[in-house]
Amino acid sequence: MKKNNRPLNNSLIENKLLRIAILVAALIITGVALWLPTFTTPKPITLTDLANDIRAGEVVTIQDTTETGELLITYRDGSTEKSMRDTASSLLEQLNHLGLEGEHLSAIKLEFVRSKGLIASRTLSTVISLAMVGVMGFVALRVLNKGPMGEKKFTEGEIPDLNFSDVAGMEENIQEIQDIVTFLKEGNKYADMGAKMPRGILLVGDPGTGKTLLAKALAGEARVPFFAMSGSEFVEVFVGVGASRIRSLFKKARAKAPCIIFIDEIDAVGRERHGSGGGAEAEQDQTLNQLLVEMDGFGSQEGIIVLAATNRVDVLDPALLRPGRFDRRITVGRPDVKGREEILKVHVQGKKLAADVDLMNVAKATPGLVGADLANIVNEAAILAVRNNHLAITMQDFEEAVEKNIAGGVQRKNRVMSDEERRIVAYHEAGHAVAIHETRLSDPVYKITIIPRGQAGGYTMSLPEQDTMLMSKNKILARIIGLMGGRAAEEIFFQDITSGASNDLQMATQLAEEMVMRLGMDSATGLRVFPQPQGYAALAAPRTAQKTFESIDESVKNILDSCYEEAKNIISTRRNAVERVADELLEVETINRERFLELMEAEPVLA
């Protein structure tokens, strides 16, 4: 440690001395320059002396420097003197004042010259000023660079010292960009085959999930330069600055292609445009337009891949998502237990761990946390170990670090759910899955997870096996039953219900209203459809009788009620299956289709 520090310190001091020396030298030069004229000029004679000499007939010529009023006097005997007139009026006027008449003056040759000395001294002082500004600017930059604010905001086209092995628990995402690596490494191959590579890839995911890391690792893996910028940088200053930054970023990148351009927080630039707006919006427009121009401007052979990160696709301008721009989308989710364990493993590399440390247990204690949180926890644990005088990081250090991270305000949004909350979410999602599974016309369950995403504590995904054009009445009813499964499980297993189902109920209600009011699928209201009133029509007198309104309400309520009953039926009948799924969710957090089917088939299926 000591050994390493010394040369560093020395060079720091040298740097400082050098800077001080430059400053002192600059000051001396300025001083000299200011005094210079007085040093070189002999003491001038007064204007009165000059007048007397003229009267005595000794003066032959006077050279008058117009701008400065300096006078160079040549005498009959060839000697010269200098004098000074007042610059406010002409020499003749002033000599007249001193009592000289035309007859004295007519004998003298008057020459008017421009100031050489003045030009020289002006040039000199300009040069000195410029030098001073330069020196000051240089010093200021150096000083600022040391501060956190002066840190370079983007890496300028270096090949990152990272590869896919530094990215843990994101195998699927890595798989999705494997072809990009090949393309960047041996682009010609693809071009020869006529294959088109995406120009833009959108990485969608919550903050800290490793989007930047993935982009960097991609560049590192392909051994190509990495250019990065954040969308928020583009919109901050003056109109046009954002656009010109985009231009120069792409220009630099083009010179180094094949390469990766990474734009973080693209939503700051690419927010959907809403008609006319203020200055900020105009700026954003210009920046976005420039980005679109640049992305359209390079061919797919050029080998530039633009990766952009956001956690909000919904606000992006559709223009960005059009083919040839960001037409590939990769969702970067929060890691599950296994993923969290792997991320922890990456970050403890090179750190000493005590024998009692079980990273799986740390992973289990941190549901909902993302890679950035876990990196913080490992770091914090290492600091605590030092503070606690431990020889290696112990499990106790980890526990403290986890608590700190969860309590600490930094990532409050990523707060860890309480055990009770997790249990409710697990049963809620298991309820959805089982209700969907046991409803004949439902789309198969594809994935169940209790990893929180956005507002939701978890989600159950079911996907159709093939595209369908038509929705049948029974299929819609099956959807509603599936949506009711969550709330039904809460009621059956906890004898209480939570706000967690609000989104489900909203969707179910919408579907039921759709059936009754627009699809003519309810026998009570019949085939009549009720167009949604808009604009003026909404204000116009209702064309629907009060009685009809009542019957619509009633029909919607009936559909929802009967579907809820059906869901409760399924959950009670398959109680054991729901428990198995919920327990497994609490253990591993995510269940895929195959595993779900195994769990369902562990006992006879519902008749």
Q: Kindly state the smallest distance separating residue 210's Cβ from ligand ADP, in Å.
A: 3
- Considering beta carbons, is residue 69 or 333 the nearer one to Zn ion? 333
Q: Which does 371 bind (CB under 5 to 8 A by kind): ligand ADP, Zn ion, none?
A: ligand ADP
Q: Which does 486 bind (CB under 5 to 8 A by kind): ligand ADP, Zn ion, none?
A: Zn ion
Number of residues that bind Zn ion (CB under 5 A): 2
Nearest CA among 217, 287, 275 for reference residue 250:
287
Which of 212, 286, 449, 590 binds ligand ADP (CB under 6 A)? It is 212
Residue 300: alpha-carbon gap to chain centroid: 25
213 lies in the binding site for ligand ADP (CB under 6 A) = yes
- Considering beta carbons, is residue 231 or 431 the nearer one to ligand ADP? 231
- Considering beta carbons, is residue 326 or 596 the nearer one to ligand ADP? 326
167 lies in the binding site for ligand ADP (CB under 6 A) = yes
Q: Kindly state the smallest distance separating residue 225's Cβ from ligand ADP, in Å.
A: 18
Separation of alpha carbons 145 and 139, rounded Å: 10
Q: Which does 504 bind (CB under 5 to 8 A by kind): ligand ADP, Zn ion, none?
A: Zn ion
DSSP code for 336? -
Q: Which does 210 bind (CB under 5 to 8 A by kind): ligand ADP, Zn ion, none?
A: ligand ADP
Which of 45, 319, 346, 365 binds ligand ADP (CB under 6 A)? It is 346
- Considering beta carbons, is residue 484 or 516 the nearer one to Zn ion? 484
Which of 70, 181, 184, 211 binds ligand ADP (CB under 6 A)? It is 211
Which of 242, 258, 333, 486 binds Zn ion (CB under 5 A)? It is 486
Residue 266's SS3 state is coil
CA 433 vs CA 158, 333, 463, 477, 537: distances in Å: 48, 20, 12, 16, 42
Tell me the sheet residues that pair with 201. Answer: 307, 328
Stretch that binds ligand ADP, among 107-115, 207-215, 512-520, 588-596 (CB under 6 A): 207-215
- Considering beta carbons, is residue 84 or 383 the nearer one to ligand ADP? 383
Tell me the sheet residues that pair with 261. Answer: 227, 306
Which residues carry out catalysis? 429
- Considering beta carbons, is residue 181 or 425 the nearer one to Zn ion? 425
Residue nearest to ligand ADP (CB): 371
Which of 70, 176, 504, 566 binds Zn ion (CB under 5 A)? It is 504
207 lies in the binding site for ligand ADP (CB under 6 A) = yes
Q: Within 359-388, which residues bind ligand ADP (CB under 6 A)?
A: 371-372, 375
Which of 50, 59, 71, 170 binds ligand ADP (CB under 6 A)? It is 170
Nearest CA among 506, 470, 510 for reference residue 486:
506
Q: For residues 420 and 412, is the Cβ–Cβ distance under 8 A?
A: no
DSSP string of 48-108, one letter each residue: HHHHHHHHTT-EEEEEEETTT-EEEEEETTS-EEEEE--TTS-HHHHHHHTT--HHHHTTS
Separation of alpha carbons 461 and 449, rounded Å: 9
Number of residues that bind ligand ADP (CB under 6 A): 18
210 lies in the binding site for ligand ADP (CB under 6 A) = yes
Q: For residues 485 and 436, is the Cβ–Cβ distance under 8 A?
A: yes
Separation of alpha carbons 449 and 596, rounded Å: 11
333 lies in the binding site for ligand ADP (CB under 6 A) = no
DSSP string of 188-240, one letter each residue: HHHHHHTPPPPSEEEEE--TTSSHHHHHHHHHHHHT--EEEEEHHHHTSSSTT
Strands lying side by side in the sheet with 109-113: 80-84, 70-75, 59-65, 109-113
| Token pair in block for residue 156 | 């300028």
491 lies in the binding site for Zn ion (CB under 5 A) = no
Q: Kindly state the smallest distance separating residue 554's Cβ from ligand ADP, in Å.
A: 49
Q: Which does 384 bind (CB under 5 to 8 A by kind): ligand ADP, Zn ion, none?
A: none
Stretch that binds ligand ADP, among 146-154, 166-174, 387-395, 529-537 (CB under 6 A): 166-174
CA 575 vs CA 21, 239, 562, 606: distances in Å: 83, 62, 20, 11
- Considering beta carbons, is residue 169 or 482 the nearer one to ligand ADP? 169
Q: Kindly state the smallest distance separating residue 559's Cβ from ligand ADP, in Å.
A: 42
Peptide bond into 258 cis (omega under 30): yes
The type of residue at 592 is N
HEC string of 482-534 equals HHHHHHHHHHHHHCCCCHHHHHHHHHHHHHHHHHHHHCCCECCCECCCCCCCC
Give residues in contact with ligand ADP (CB under 6 A): 167-170, 205, 207-213, 309, 343, 346, 371-372, 375
Give residues in contact with Zn ion (CB under 5 A): 486, 504
